[in-house]
Chain A
Amino acid sequence: MMPSLRDVVDRLSRQRGVRASLIVSENDGLVVDSSLRFGEDGERVAALAASIYRKARLSADAAHLGAVSFLQLDADQGRLCAVGRDDLVLVIVAEPSANVGLIRVELFKALETLA
């Protein structure tokens, strides 16, 4: 049976160090589904992450680099990881100490389930 969107974000949120996981509409920047730790602003993350992902995708396209497979933004207080397909972007906000390799694998697995 196909997992629901809720199953997808819940599974991503169970990874160590993950503060928020969201499925976002790339064009609208709106939350499709999310699992947020207390205090995380899902709408803000969704709008900004979708904007960054879209710009990265358009930039890669303009530079003839092909499709964006994985986007990672590291900041002092955390990191943001995103993968996308069609109009959907899977976004994770994690602690700076989180294992990005593991998160990347989980994001790609989740993306497969959305296909």
Chain B
Amino acid sequence: MNVAAVESWIEAPLRRYIDDARARMAVLLHPSGQVMAQAGFTRDMDVMAACALAAAAHATASELGRQLDGRAFRGLHFAGTTRQLFLSALETRRGTYVCLTVFDEASSLGLVRLYFEELRRDLIAAALVAVTPRPTPTLAADFETELNRNLAALFAGPRAEAVIT
């Protein structure tokens, strides 16, 4: 499966996660919605939509968790008729990331959760030795530029461009 990452330290752990969990698609993003890596997507527009929706769902679930349980919920699972998704956040030295995983009957929620914990450990370890500059927080004014830069890095083409109105 095609795996692409904006920062190279993410790629190997994400590839291993996709293979082990037998996921169909995954996207790793900043809580702001900035894409960091993707696997299984074929179109930049799909990644943009997935990131925007995942960021919104993560923000909603986190706030619901804080209001109901005093802290953010750790994971969110939706089951469709043929596909399911699992959304969870992880903390590394380089910041918080949200991972959206799409899987079908070839996997299960148990397997995805199991290997997500391994992804969490792998990314924490990889972040400790990553040599790329630590990212600065994306400002609203820079969001579109950053989004386009990341999409171009993932899909390596001039078509990867978002316009935010």
**Which residues of A pack against B, CB within 8 Å?**
24-25, 27-30, 43-44, 46-48, 50-51, 54
Interface residues on B, range: under 10
B135 on the A face (CB < 8 A): no
- The number of A-B residue pairs with CB atoms under 8 Å apart is 33
Chain B residues near A24 (CB, 8 Å)? 110
B149 on the A face (CB < 8 A): no
* A-B contact list, 17 entries, CB within 8 Å: A24-B110, A25-B110, A27-B108, A29-B108, A29-B109, A29-B110, A29-B111, A30-B109, A30-B110, A43-B113, A43-B114, A47-B111, A47-B113, A47-B114, A51-B108, A51-B110, A51-B111
Residues of chain B in range 104-124 having any CB-CB distance to chain A below 8 Å = 107-111, 113-114
Leading 6 A-B pairs by shortest Cβ distance: A29-B110, A47-B110, A29-B108, A47-B114, A28-B109, A47-B111
Please give me the residue from chain B that is nearest to A41 by CB atom.
B114
Please give me the residue from chain B that is nearest to A49 by CB atom.
B110
- Write the nearest CB–CB distance from B84 to chain A, whole angstroms: 9
Residues of chain B in range 86-142 having any CB-CB distance to chain A below 8 Å = 107-111, 113-114
- A50 close to B114 (CB less than 8 A): no
How far, in whole Å, are A43 and B108 apart by their CA atoms in the complex? 12
How far, in whole Å, are A54 and B104 apart by their CA atoms in the complex? 14
